[in-house]
Amino acid sequence: MTTPTLDLETTVTHDHPVTETPATIQIDRDEFDASVVRLAFSGQWGTTYVNLTATEAHTVASALEKTATDAANAEATDE
């Protein structure tokens, strides 16, 4: 595993009934194939990896950015 470009400690909701546990989200590049972006979710259950192409990673990043902007705008109107 390469050094993560993002190492975010957060709460992950999983399973039903809904439970929350401390977890981390990491983003890095695959150590054997530098063209692969690896997204990892780690918590008490272990680590789940998602391998993304550059195009898929851009799609995820764009969706996160748009959703974060929408959430910030909604938060601003609530104040």
- The predicted-structure confidence for 32-69, as pLDDT tens digits, reads as follows 998 999 999 888 889 989 999 999 999 999 988 999 99
Please report the sign of the dihedral spanned by the C-alpha atoms of residue 4, residue 66, residue 72, residue 41.
negative
Start-to-end CA distance of the chain, whole Å, equals: 42
* Helices marked H in the chain: 54-78
What pLDDT was estimated at residue 22? Answer: 84
State how far the alpha carbon of 52 is from the alpha carbons of 15, 35, 37, in Å.
Answer: 24, 9, 5
Please give the Cα distance from 27 to 57 (Å, whole number). Answer: 10
